[in-house]
Structures are given as C-alpha cells and as structure tokens.
Amino acid sequence: MNIVEVTTSQLESVFLKMPTKIYSKDINWVRPLDKMIDSVFHRDKNGFYQHGDAIRWVVFNSEGICVGRIAAFYDKKKAFTFNQPTGGVGFFESVNDQTVADLLFETAKEWLQTQGMEAMDGPINFGENLINWGLLVDGFHCQSFGIPYNLPYYETLFRYYGFQTYFEQYCYRMDIDKGLSPRLMKIARWISKRPGYSFEHVDFKNLGKYVEDFMEIYRKAWKSHDNFKGIDPKDIKAIGSFLKKLADEKYFWFAYHNDNPVAFFAMTPDWNQILKHLNGKINLFSIIKFLYLRRKKTITRARCFVMGVVPEFQGSGIESAIFAQLEKVLEKQPWMKELEFSWVGDFNPKMELLYQSVGGEKVSTLLTMRCLFDSSKPFERAPILHESMIDRVKESKK
C-alpha cells in the first residue's frame, strides 16, 4: 500500500471520489456536494485555518486503486483546553480492511504529534460541529443534511485501532402533523402572554443584530460546558451568510425577555432529499434539477441543528413557546411532514428530555470517539451537564 498526501488537484479529485466506491450499492448514502467538502480544506474559505491547520491523505493498494482516505487537523483555540492537547480526524473512508484503516489512523496520529497533540477525536469536522460530525452506529437509514453516514464496520475499524467513545450523539424526529401536546401548547400560550416576552424570526437584512444576539446567548448558555471556548463573531456572520442560502429566515427564531435575547432556535430544510439526486455536482444541469425538485416540494423534512437557552430561562417553558411560533410557520408548508432534532449529546440530558417532551423519537445514534496517544493515561468521557439544570427541565414537565 502507498499513502499519499493530497497536494494536487488530481489527488483532490481522488479524495472526493473515493467514497463513491464504498457506497456504490448503498441507497442510504447521499453524496455531499464536492464544493462543500473541498471548501473545508481551502484557507480562503475556512476561518479555522486562522487558528489551526489541516492535512489530507489517500491510500492506494498495489493495483493503484484508492482504498481509503482521511484528514487530520487541529484547532489551537480548543486543543489545549483538554488534559491532553487534542486534535481531530475526519472525512474518513475505508474499505473493510483493518490494515488500511490502521495506516490512515497512524499517519494522522504521527502528523498530529508533530503539532503538539497527545490525542485525537474522530470522526469530526475541521470547523463547527453542525455538520460532518460523528460515527453512525445505529439507525442506518438515509441521514439528514449534514449528518454523517457510514457503513456498520467502521465502528470496528475505529475501536480496533484504539478509539473509545467520548460521547454519544442522538437524532430525534417528530411528526409535524401531530403538533405539540395540549400541555406544551398551554405552556407556550402562557409564556407568550406574560409581560416582557417577545418572539421574532431573523431578518436577513439586519443579520448583524442577530449575530450579536446569538453571541450573547451563546456566552451565557455554553460557558458552563466542558472546554467552552469563545467564538469569533466573524465565524458566526460567515455561518449566517451560508444559512441564508439554505433556509427561509422564518426558520430562525429568537426569544426575548425585556428586549434581552434569552433563547434561539435554528433549522434548515433537509437538503439531502434533493442532493441524493445530484451526485455531488454543481453545474447547469444539476441547478435546473435542483430547482425542479424544490418546486415539486421534494423536501418533506426539516432539521433543527442548534437551540440555545440562557441558564436562568432553561426549563421555564420558553422552549415550548418557540416551538409554537415555529408551528405557525410549518402550518403554511403542509408538505413538511417531519422535524428532526440533531444532534444532541448524551452529556446534555436536559436537551434530550426537551426533544422527547415535544414528541421526538430517537432515530439515530452517532459517536464522537477519542484516541489517547499514550494508552497508559486514564480515559475520561465528556462530563454530564450539572444535575440541577436537568432537574429544572424535569420539574417543567410535571
């Protein structure tokens, strides 16, 4: 076997095409847009290069056929917040051969060690965790936009090399036609009528305002999380500009109390229901096909990819009130049948309880895995959020 760093446009093409061989007969796999994958590894398109670096490899067998690929990367803002400085690996694909997988993992490990890393997480993204994050281990059906898909044997490849579960990730789906339960609707109406509360969806013409509101919620809601790190407003603005291309502004909601932002909710149509017909390409033909399928209302599912509530309002019912606002939007889109909440980590049981309370059923499980380079050091899973926060959510359900 021969492992080669991706340094040319020809090898970039090999890197992008390699998964098509693995999933050629798998109807559940949706090929991501090549441009979305490619943009992760270009410095002028990915802001994480400002505080990190990335590298890619492909593996060829003795017959010159590509049988595997991997990327390795690190983010200095986050890597050194762990007991062992931790980088990442992602975009992993391999034939069912442990020798191939071990060569990929070992090459990534050696490079990360030269960058000062002592552990690696995978499979993850060189960027935010909204997309390309986790190893699918249960629920091998067609995944929603941004949620990874892989074959069942991948878990064995990771575990055999030395990866262990750092945390589990769950995807929940609810039937939109069933709506919120009468109890939650009662809570939503009660919250909505209380003095000082207001709700509004994003206005893309005033994106700067909502970036600031998001930053305020983010700082308060995530500061108690393990390895919390600040987030650059430029990154959020870039994500916002990207989301403008993906979804209606009525898919993004904020809740305010006395004009102070206290909660937000963001979702996008499940573009995978269209992308599965485009084979990863963007050209004149695929654009026409995309517009045709969109006009036919091919998309019947939306994916909620992030929700945040400042601590003092968690478990207060503000979440139900936001869902009630969203219901009004979806009532005008009768072709939408499902709402997916993905993903939520097992370290965040309060959010699991919330998604269950609105009628969500668990449909997929993914893993974020970690490999310590020094196996003699103790392995620790991601810590659970503070129990008092969980108790508040439980109390709100009574």
**CATH code 3.20.20 for 2-161:** no
Res. 193 pLDDT band, cuts 50 70 90: confident
Best CA proximity match to 12, nearest among 62, 54, 53: 54
Best CA proximity match to 137, nearest among 367, 340, 394, 369: 367
pLDDT, average across residues 299-322: 89
Q: What is the predicted pLDDT for the residue at 183?
A: 84
Model pTM? 0.90
Rg (CA), the chain: 21
User: From CA 33, how far away is CA 30, in angstroms rounded?
Assistant: 9
Q: What is the predicted pLDDT for the residue at 243?
A: 65
Q: What is the predicted pLDDT for the residue at 224?
A: 55
Distances in Å between the alpha carbon of 271 and those of 141, 259, 275, 355? 15, 34, 6, 22
Amino acid identity for residue 228 in this structure: F
- Longest CA–CA separation in the chain, Å: 71
Residue 307: its H or E element: strand 301-309
Across 135-144, 173-182, 266-275, least confident range: 173-182
Across 224-228, 238-242, 384-388, 394-398, least confident range: 394-398
Across 34-48, 128-142, 204-218, least confident range: 204-218
pLDDT, average across residues 242-258: 83
pLDDT at 391 over 50: no
CB 93 within 8 A of CB 132: no
Hey, what are 54's tokens? 């990335």
Res. 389 pLDDT band, cuts 50 70 90: very low
pLDDT, average across residues 178-187: 83
Q: Is 43 exposed, middle or buried (0-12, 13-18, 19+ CB in 10 A)?
A: exposed
Res. 230 pLDDT band, cuts 50 70 90: low
CB 372 within 8 A of CB 379: yes
Q: What is the predicted pLDDT for the residue at 19?
A: 97
Q: What is the predicted pLDDT for the residue at 97?
A: 98
Q: Is 357 exposed, middle or buried (0-12, 13-18, 19+ CB in 10 A)?
A: buried
Res. 123 pLDDT band, cuts 50 70 90: very high
pLDDT at 316 over 90: no
Which residues of the chain does CATH 3.40.630.30 include? Answer: 174-364+385-396
pLDDT, average across residues 117-121: 98
Amino acid identity for residue 34 in this structure: D
pLDDT, average across residues 79-87: 95
pLDDT at 388 over 60: no
Burial 145-161 (b: 16+ CB within 10 A, else e): bbbbbbbeebbebbeeb
pLDDT, average across residues 309-330: 86
CB 359 within 8 A of CB 175: yes
The sign of the torsion formed by the CA atoms of 80, 82, 85, 86 equals: negative
Amino acid identity for residue 317 in this structure: G
Res. 240 pLDDT band, cuts 50 70 90: low
Hey, what are 160's tokens? 């055999």
Q: What is the predicted pLDDT for the residue at 385?
A: 67
pLDDT, average across residues 351-357: 88
> Mean pLDDT across the chain, nearest whole number?
90
Cα 323 versus chain centre, distance: 20
Helix, strand, or coil (residue 239): helix
pLDDT, average across residues 326-355: 91
215 vs 167: which has the higher pLDDT: 167
388 vs 154: which has the higher pLDDT: 154
User: pLDDT tens digits for 288-302?
Assistant: 999 999 999 999 999
Q: What is the predicted pLDDT for the residue at 215?
A: 87
pLDDT, average across residues 164-170: 98
pLDDT at 164 over 70: yes
Amino acid identity for residue 164 in this structure: Q
Res. 396 pLDDT band, cuts 50 70 90: very low
Best CA proximity match to 332, nearest among 290, 303, 297, 361: 297
What fold does the segment set 174-364+385-396 form as a domain? Aminopeptidase (3.40.630)
Res. 248 pLDDT band, cuts 50 70 90: confident
CB 58 within 8 A of CB 8: no
pLDDT, average across residues 2-25: 97
The sign of the torsion formed by the CA atoms of 299, 301, 305, 308 equals: positive
Q: Is 376 exposed, middle or buried (0-12, 13-18, 19+ CB in 10 A)?
A: exposed
Best CA proximity match to 283, nearest among 2, 16, 33: 33
